[in-house]
Amino acid sequence: MSDGALLTAELRIAGRLDARFFALLEALHATGSINRAAKTAGLSYKGAWLMLETACNLAQEPLLQTTTGGPGGGGTRLTPAALELLGAWRQLQAEHRDFVRAQEARLARLPALHGLLRRMSMKTTARNQYAGTVTAVDIGPVSAQATIALAAGGEIAATMTSAAAKRLKLKKGQEALALVKASAIVLVTDFAGWQLSARNQLAGTVSRVERGAVSSVVVVTLPGGAAVTATVTNEGVEALGLAVGTPATAVFKASAVMVATQP
């Protein structure tokens, strides 16, 4: 969603004629060459021919008119039937865009749902993503610290460069997302009287253990219902006796937290 749209929808005609097919027709109409049209549409020559042949076999009227030699050197042109099909696509596509925009505007009038979808729209490999509100910001000459109160309860501390904090325009009361990679999470089941320097220590209960060939995915559910996912070596799972129901604390440094905001 590079344009920030919350809604996307793919338009197809007859279940198989999609944007790629009509991009090919557009390029063929402009160039008169299947080879050049395929390159313009980002298809292989074979793939373009296969797409065109399938459509032509299903059409009741010819879609392509091919000429060889002659003053113009030959080429492939769209027939009136193909031009009519292309025109129908253009009109449907315009109406389709208007419909999606109208629904996007409708969502904007539903603040709770719109906010939820905005938070879910980011695509990232970070397994841990939490919505919250910035409750404190301290920007120094070089680094900055921010505290994010999670919607599900608890808080997460994050550190970043001062330049990053200014670029994000971090301020108290701002909605933000905290992202933490599963590999940055350390699980502790017994502190044995020791204290750790890591700012973030979220206590909960192991709710899932997915064992892999080398490492396991361990999920710790916090009292408020949020879940923290950590990747732990199988040896670590065995050494700590991690199993469903085991109390555990997810520990991670503030520098491991990425903060995301929207203007």
What is residue 228's predicted lDDT score, i.e. its pLDDT? 95
Model confidence at 1, in pLDDT bands (50, 70, 90)?
A: very low
Q: Where does CATH 2.40.50.100 sit in the chain?
A: 127-180, 182-252
Q: Which of 52-61, 68-77, 121-130, 230-239 has the lowest mean pLDDT?
A: 68-77
Look at residue 151 and tell me whether its pLDDT is greater than 70. Answer: yes
pLDDT on residue 73: 53
Distance separating alpha carbons of residues 11 and 24, to the nearest angstrom: 15
- CA gap 17, 90 in Å, rounded: 13
Question: Do residues 244 and 190 make contact, with C-beta atoms less than 8 angstroms apart?
Answer: no
Q: Is the pLDDT of residue 57 over 90?
A: no
| Averaged pLDDT of the chain | 87
- pLDDT of the residue at 11: 87
- CATH architecture of the domain with residue range 19-108: Orthogonal Bundle (1.10)
Amino acid at the residue 61: E
* pLDDT (0 to 100) of residue 112: 65
Q: Which fold has domain 127-180?
A: OB fold (Dihydrolipoamide Acetyltransferase, E2P) (2.40.50)
pLDDT of residue 114: 54
When computed from its CA atoms, the radius of gyration of the chain, rounded to whole angstroms, is: 28
The pLDDT of residue 3 is above 60: no
Q: How far apart are CA 205 and CA 6, in angstroms?
A: 34
* Whether pLDDT at 119 is above 60: no
